[in-house]
Amino acid sequence: MTRGLTGRAAIVTGGARGIGRATCLALARAGATVAALDIDSAGLAELARADSGPGRILPMACDVAEREAVFAATERVVAEAGGLDLLVACAVHFHFAPLVETPPAIVRQMLAVGLEGTLWAMQAAIPHLERRGGGLIVGLSSVAVFYGIRHAGVYTAIKGAIDALVRQQAVELGPKNIRVVALAPGPVDTPGARSVIDDAGFAARQARTPLGRLATAEDIAAAVVWLASEDARSITGITLKIDGGITLAAP
């Protein structure tokens, strides 16, 4: 049975919207103090007004593409919460297009947010997790890694890199009692996904999902809460699909 997270401190990048927002709320409602890092000031303000249950949400404006900003925000979180137990790297920049039509500026932005932002957050968090005697890092992968999706070349490359990074860091950090896992959601109806998938696209994906329903942001967040609990203490180095079975049925 999953236990509460009272007294735990977490950072969620990309915390203002979508899966990041749902994760912030789920962790706070389990009792954690959660810092939501995002450049979306309106989304952070809305998150601050949401019911966080027994925990706390600390909205923090931060561009995860900027290494110094991520390190500064992490230090503020540690000072406010007294330490750090959990990092969830959700920040992503969506853009689907044929590879040859993807401008260099878009490629750089996607890499800066989705991959470098994850690396910077890990670099900033790991020393604090060590001081805590261990902890958990969660990277956000995608089912796009497991089968081909048209026009998702850069996005999929980033998610594949996160999978590889998670496996490598699970080995490197295991002796320090730091677990590292990736979550691979199927299609999730979030503002970011809506920027690249329309109603017809979601309907088509749902139709080929064995469970007949798409995962929600709350489903992904619930997995994070479980992974952060003592019930999952032996789980590390995996990419957990939360996709209703769509990768089994694709294309």
> Contact 63/114 with Cβ under 8 angstroms?
no
Give me the active site residues, please.
155
Tens of pLDDT, residues 100-146: 999 999 999 999 999 999 999 999 999 999 999 999 999 999 998 99
The model's pTM is: 0.94
Identify the three-state secondary structure at position 28: helix
pLDDT of 3 reads 62
**DSSP result, 138-183:** EEE--GGGTS--TT-HHHHHHHHHHHHHHHHHHHHHGGGTEEEEEE
Task: Mark the ranges of the chain whose per-residue pLDDT is less than 70.
Answer: 1-3, 192, 250-251
Gyration radius of the chain over CA positions: 17
Tens of pLDDT, residues 206-223: 888 889 888 899 999 999
Domain boundaries, the chain: 9-249
Tens of pLDDT, residues 224-233: 999 999 999 9
**H and E: helices and strands count for the chain:** 10, 7
pLDDT of 1 reads 45
- Name the CATH code of domain 9-249 (choices 3.30.420.10, 3.30.465.10, 3.40.50.1470, 3.40.50.720): 3.40.50.720
DSSP conformation class of 186? -
